[in-house]
């Protein structure tokens, strides 16, 4: 296809989000000679940037999420994609394309791929907001070092909770996983890894319903979900932490009014990652889907970029 000349604020394709979906899309788009800009607001890799280890991406036996994110970015850039930092405030469809407004800039694009991932779900217990950053955390890799030698609780029974527990077991003295049902959602192979760590224990059928303290947490209220009974445990102030790892909600704010959402809150796309807005594609964890993994995000990105290429080509045909 014809390579279109663009000014820095006019692009063929803008990709919002620098995770595996975004950088995979950027790689495919750049290889198809699209003038491609990725806008990322944090570390390359998105959610995986805080993952201690990725060991299920084919061909990469073990790699930290941060390293894999950097590699994906470098790969896309080596193919010709550009990336910039910025927080996208709005995405508007108009007659000739899209306007993307960031906190720094305004950019025009013929087509847009949104790959904004998902954000951590709250644990919904009393005191959660008050003690966020003062005993309540959502990221072991980010905040684990503050709990060296301390006692931590992890709420959740999925892969994230298991990963967070394994990571924190190398820092904290004592790690307890709080699972609300009598079974983990994470697969058995993953859960079995916990038994190799003597400082990890599990409380099944238990919920944390309240945290309280003064500057930091010093009491936690637990509920036994089998009996409904509650009890309070006290700790020295600052000696305890609660990590919430109960899943993620698709980050769909930017496409409100431009795309339909499914029952899980993710964007409904067609098999080409297309939305109800021509030229707008969504990829990765923000989509309504059954398996949110690096490999599925990367696949979405490749499909979306290929569809965007054909869409842009159709505009000039």
Residues 6+ apart with CB under 8 A from 170: none
**Angle between helix 294-316 and 20-31 (nearest 10):** 40
Dihedral of alpha carbons 264, 270, 275, 276, sign: negative
Based on the shown chain and the rule CB under 6 A, indicate whether residue 206 belongs to the binding site for ligand NAP: no
- Which residues make Cβ contacts (< 8 Å) with residue 13, sequence separation at least 6? 29, 34, 35, 36, 37, 109, 110, 111, 112, 113, 305, 308, 312
Token readout for 169 is 């077991």
Dihedrals φ, ψ of 223, to 5°? -120, 130
Choice between 187 and 257, CB closer to ligand NAP: 187
Binds ligand NAP (CB under 6 A): choice among 86, 127, 144, 157? 157
Kindly state whether residue 124 participates in binding ligand NAP, applying the rule CB under 6 A: yes
Determine which one of 52, 143, 224, 249 is catalytic.
143
Kind plus residue range of the DSSP H or E element containing 30: helix 20-31
For ligand NAP, the closer of residues 33 and 288 by Cβ is 288
Q: Single out the segment in contact with ligand NAP by CB under 6 A; choices: 67-75, 193-201, 256-264, 287-295.
A: 287-295
* Minimum distance of ligand NAP from residue 163's CB (angstroms): 5
Binding to ligand NAP, residues 10-29 (CB under 6 A): none
Contact flag: residue 248 with ligand NAP (CB under 6 A)? yes
Contacts (CB under 6 A) with ligand NAP, residues 44-83: 56
292 lies in the binding site for ligand NAP (CB under 6 A):
yes
Kindly state whether residue 164 participates in binding ligand NAP, applying the rule CB under 6 A.
no
Nearer residue to ligand NAP within complex by CB, 39 or 54: 54
- Angstrom distance (rounded) from CA 38 to CA 40: 6
């Amino acid at each position: 296809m014809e390579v279109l000349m663009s000014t820095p604020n006019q692009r063929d394709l803008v990709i919002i989000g620098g995770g595996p979906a975004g950088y995979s899309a950027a790689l495919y788009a750049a290889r198809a000679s699209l003038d491609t800009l990725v806008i990322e607001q944090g570390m390359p890799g998105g959610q995986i940037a805080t993952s201690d280890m990725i060991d299920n991406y084919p061909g990469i036996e073990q790699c930290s999420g941060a390293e894999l994110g950097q590699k994906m970015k470098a790969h896309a850039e080596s193919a010709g994609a550009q990336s910039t930092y910025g927080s996208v405030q709005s995405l508007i469809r108009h007659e000739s394309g899209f306007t993307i407004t960031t906190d720094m800039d305004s950019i025009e694009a013929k087509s847009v791929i949104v790959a904004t991932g998902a954000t951590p779900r709250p644990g919904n217990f009393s005191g959660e907001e008050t003690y966020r950053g003062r005993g309540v955390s959502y990221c072991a890799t980010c905040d684990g070092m503050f709990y060296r030698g301390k006692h931590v609780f992890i709420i959740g029974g999925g892969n994230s909770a298991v990963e967070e527990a394994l990571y924190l077991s190398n820092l904290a003295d004592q790690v307890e996983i709080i699972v609300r049902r009598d079974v983990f959602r994470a697969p058995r192979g993953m859960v079995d890894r916990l038994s190799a760590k003597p400082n990890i224990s599990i409380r099944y059928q238990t919920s944390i319903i309240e945290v309280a303290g003064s500057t930091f947490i010093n009491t936690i209220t637990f509920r036994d979900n089998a009996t409904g009974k509650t009890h309070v445990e006290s700790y020295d102030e600052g000696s305890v932490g609660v990590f919430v790892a109960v899943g993620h909600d698709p980050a769909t704010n930017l496409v409100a009014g431009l795309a339909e959402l499914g029952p899980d809150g993710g964007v409904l796309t067609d098999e080409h990652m297309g939305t109800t807005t021509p030229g707008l594609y969504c990829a990765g964890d923000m989509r309504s889907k059954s398996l949110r993994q690096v490999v599925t995000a990367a696949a979405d990105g490749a499909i979306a970029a290929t569809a965007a290429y054909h869409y842009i080509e159709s505009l000039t045909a």
